[in-house]
Structure 1
Amino acid sequence: MNSEMGSRCCPFVFYIMTGIQVLHIAPFSSEEYSAHDGEYMLFAVRDGAAEMKIGSRSYGLVKESLVVAEPGQTTFSQTRENSLSFYSITFKALRVSDTVALVDESPATFPCTGTLSCVPFSRCVDLLEAIEQHSHDEDELIRFYNHVRFEELIRHVLQQNARTAPAPNLRDAVKSSIDYISDHYAEPMTVSQLAADANVFPWQYTRIFKELTGQIPLEFINKLRIDHAKQLLLKTEDRIHEIALHVGFNNEFYFNRRFKKLEGIAPGRYRHHHQGTVRIVSLLMEDLLLTLGVTPVVQWSHKGWGRQEYLGLNHIPAFDVLQNSYEPLSTYKPDLIIARRSDYEYRTDQYEQCKRFVQTDIILHDDADWRSTLRTVANLLGRVNQAEQAIQQYETKVSKVRRLLTHSIKDRTYAFLRVSAECISIDQTYTKSFLWGDLGIVPHPMVQELSSEEGRQGVTWEWLQRLDSDYIFFAFDKWHEQEAGSERRQITHPLWHTIPAVRNRHAFEVDFMTWMNHGYLANNKKVDDVLSLLAKVK
């Protein structure tokens, strides 16, 4: 065949590996590497993190990073708290002449340097492991096979990096990708493909994605799919597996698992609870129900204490919790009864009666841990997002108030008095976790010396006269057998005004049912009370 009739079949450039090592850099260490003349250095990170400086440029290395340094460049790597484990390959790029003779005097240029993409990275690792394993073999055929592996590695890298340059604005590229995901969430997609489409290296893509959304890509995609699934569950009668496929999940089992992890409830139960009005009874936990946007069908009531007026449930029928049987609750046709652990332990027989006619769940958290209780109730009702939003709002408010009160409450102490007609007791059960735990106002040492039971039994006037706390908060406990209003006679007693905080006008009355309760709404009102009352202190 005439050479003019044919075409050149060999590449213009060959890449020849000259060495391979597996290297490790310990935490808080540094290493410097340089290759021989004309050699490129390729670094593929297996694990760890470090800063690498190549020439005048610095790169952040993490697991699955791939970096190529040009000939003559010295690399300097510095680790901090993490070690670094990586492959180091040196290679040459050699030009091929028209006579198919290698020309060492005219080295070629490798088209990609700096940080590169290598997806899937597992493919790179497989090739590198095999290359390193056979790098010392003397058999010529095996050495040739190893060269083929190296050329396959180079092909894999060039295929992903030589076509186009990295996007000039990586954040804009990732933002566009996020918009694409929002519009095509139901389509099959992988992080590797999304990064490749955005022309961003995968490790950069994931980092920037989280900076922009607060989530890694897979979490973001699943959240989008679940949110659309929730809409379909409420707006259609489609079967669960049909909805799962429609929003992009391959199978119903995985959809159910992801849905329950995000929402705290299975898809079918979510549909049941939200398509209609769920009728719920949760005596003395109405605060938490309202926080979740659920109005109870009946509210807690007590002959001595009355109702929880701060909740504003005047239009809701009341149920007296002192009666021996809770079977009358069935007349309100509840779908679910939720009981606090303390109530169940005190009224086990009554709640066991409830289990005969309706599902009755017992919350096992300590009553004072209203955040955990709220989360548990939210899981039961499929309202996890509402619970987390409420808790975050409360934490933000408390943090702000603590900063406002930093100077006024520093080194200040308090006591909370529960005033009834029969005695004055010291409360810690309902108020300590709020005043001390949330706001940072410290109980007076005399209070801290009392156990909860000792404080509940009541203290003497002589004890109160020695109580030199900076603040006193007190509420009137109306559950007694004396005439209405008799509890207020305690503060007309001659010794009342000998108590230091009372004498200094630092004794503040608060609402009994608000302060003797745990919950988002109750605690928000307590915060407002403290701000208002302490503002009066000069």
Structure 2
Amino acid sequence: MLDHTKTTPASDGSAARMSMDEVRAYMSGHYHEPLSIELLAQLAGLSPNYFGEAFKKATGRSVMDYLTGLRIGRAKQLIRETDLYMREVARSVGYSDEYYFSRKFKKEVGVSPSVFGRSARQRIAALSASSIGYLLPLGIVPVAAPLDPKWSPYYHYYYQSEIRVHLEAPDSGKDADNIKSLMAAKPDAVLIQESCEAAMEEWLASSAIELIRIDAEDWRGRLWQTAKALGRSASADRWIRAYESNAAQAKQSIREAVGADRFLTLRLSGDQLYMYVNRGIRDVIYRDLELAAIPRLSEVYNEPLSVLELAAIDPDRLMLLVCPDAGTRMQWLSLQHDERWRSLKAVKNRFVYQLPSNPWFEYSPVAVSRMLEETVLLLTGKNPTLAPVPVHGRPEGSEL
């Protein structure tokens, strides 16, 4: 029985009431306990009915659905990383009945805990950070992958403790170190998107490790290739259907916010502006969301553009990628004081959205999903995710 004496506010209201974020944090720390809507509402100082409505408005999910998500997420981690019996996993995440837990797990994940456990123990290595974004949708956390807080901050933040062997970047010139790390990780297979260095290619060819090479035109095709090789086609299908459902909702929400406004995507490198579209921008901005743009931006594009030429186009809204080197950052500061720039319709209306390199320079299912979420946040102000978007751009001129 849960002791509420230390966790609930006093009935006279003397104890501080929790904010909605604090309640969510409390749930994250106490998900294994028998939490009720009444208890959580009391922590927030609200009636149960009002609390339930406020919680769903803030998170997009009901209180109990959110709690189930926390419990099943932790259960997946325990199944992947420990040898606990299923009844022990169930009790560890707040379910006293192993069979009820199994039904809940299958409803949330799509497979039973035992099936998930067998497949989750596949040992797959990824040779690039973007390859991680093809494994996670299939329920696979790689045993080894390149991780760095600067050039793969999302994966580093969320998966640094789960990815046990951290490789160097493919272009770091440290293939010998990576080979030693892979030998220690003992993967069953290695996922490769692009060609790798000669030493790595030679070692992989001579090892007993299966090589999975994906080269389809777009991320959906590459996800299907990966899923087929790993026996995860059902997971790929579920993930793509969920993404397309989210994209349809995002499209409607954004259309209501921006109407028929015309967009232009730019990249600033050094002192040169470019009309710019990479594969992720093409797929998310111009295909899935169908934002209005000048015709030639419907495909991958990278064409130099002067400020005068930009002024002649004068789009309603601008999305801008600024390369992270010091010289480009200085040029960006200078450009913002250029009268020709300041006279642009998008600048005057504060409709310039600066995009970070992560995830916008990555091309993977996880990256495009994050791009979709960030675009909704930028253009509507609404966060479509259950948790704060960890890396996102902001409208120019907004307060930090």
> TM-score scaled by structure 2?
0.56
Offset of 1:271 from its aligned partner? 12
For 1:416 and 1:402, locate their aligned partners in 2 and report how far apart those are by CA, in whole Å: 18
Is the radius of gyration larger for structure 1 or structure 2? 1
Offset of 1:365 from its aligned partner? 0.3
Offset of 1:327 from its aligned partner? 4.2
Gaps of 5+ in 2: 1-114, 382-394, 396-400
Alignment partner of 1:532 out of 370, 377, 384? 377
For 1:298 and 1:490, locate their aligned partners in 2 and report how far apart those are by CA, in whole Å: 42
CA contact (8 A) 2:167 2:181 kept: no
Offset of 1:437 from its aligned partner? 0.7
Does residue 346 of structure 2 align to residue 496 of structure 1?
no
Q: 1:350 to 1:477 in 2, by over 3 A?
A: farther
For 1:458 and 1:391, locate their aligned partners in 2 and report how far apart those are by CA, in whole Å: 35
Instruction: Provide the residue aligned with 2:366 in structure 1.
Output: 521
CA contact (8 A) 1:336 1:360 kept: yes
CA contact (8 A) 1:415 1:444 kept: yes
Instruction: Provide the residue aligned with 2:292 in structure 1.
Output: 442
Instruction: Provide the residue aligned with 2:282 in structure 1.
Output: 432
Instruction: Provide the residue aligned with 1:339 in structure 2.
Output: 192
Q: RMSD of aligned C-alpha atoms?
A: 3.5
CA contact (8 A) 1:297 1:332 kept: no
Query: By percentage of residues, which structure has more strand?
Result: 1
CA contact (8 A) 1:467 1:500 kept: no
Gaps of 5+ in 1: 1-269
Offset of 1:328 from its aligned partner? 3.1
For 1:290 and 1:500, locate their aligned partners in 2 and report how far apart those are by CA, in whole Å: 41
Percent identical among aligned pairs is 17
Could you say what secondary structure the match of 1:529 adopts? Answer: helix
Instruction: Provide the residue aligned with 2:249 in structure 1.
Output: 400
Alignment partner of 1:321 out of 170, 191, 197? 170
CA contact (8 A) 1:282 1:296 kept: no
For 1:483 and 1:331, locate their aligned partners in 2 and report how far apart those are by CA, in whole Å: 37
Q: Matches of residues 123-272 of structure 1 in structure 2 within 5 Å?
A: none
Does residue 214 of structure 2 align to residue 363 of structure 1?
yes
For 1:392 and 1:383, locate their aligned partners in 2 and report how far apart those are by CA, in whole Å: 15
Structure number with greater CO (CA < 8 Å, separation at least 6) is 2
The AA in structure 2 aligned to 1:363 is: I
Could you say what secondary structure the match of 1:456 adopts? Answer: strand
CA contact (8 A) 1:363 1:376 kept: yes
Q: Which moved more, 1:408-417 or 1:436-445?
A: 408-417
The AA in structure 2 aligned to 1:364 is: D
How many pairs are equivalent?
A: 257
CA contact (8 A) 1:435 1:442 kept: no
Q: 1:351 to 1:486 in 2, by over 3 A?
A: farther
Q: 1:486 to 1:396 in 2, by over 3 A?
A: same
> TM-score scaled by structure 1?
0.42
CA contact (8 A) 1:273 1:381 kept: no
The AA in structure 2 aligned to 1:433 is: D
Q: 1:487 to 1:274 in 2, by over 3 A?
A: farther
Offset of 1:351 from its aligned partner? 5.3
* Cα distance per residue 1:107-142 (max 9 Å; x no partner): xxxxxxxxxxxxxxxxxxxxxxxxxxxxxxxxxxxx
For 2:116 and 2:138, locate their aligned partners in 1 and report how far apart those are by CA, in whole Å: 17
CA contact (8 A) 1:324 1:350 kept: no
* Cα distance per residue 1:136-185 (max 9 Å; x no partner): xxxxxxxxxxxxxxxxxxxxxxxxxxxxxxxxxxxxxxxxxxxxxxxxxx
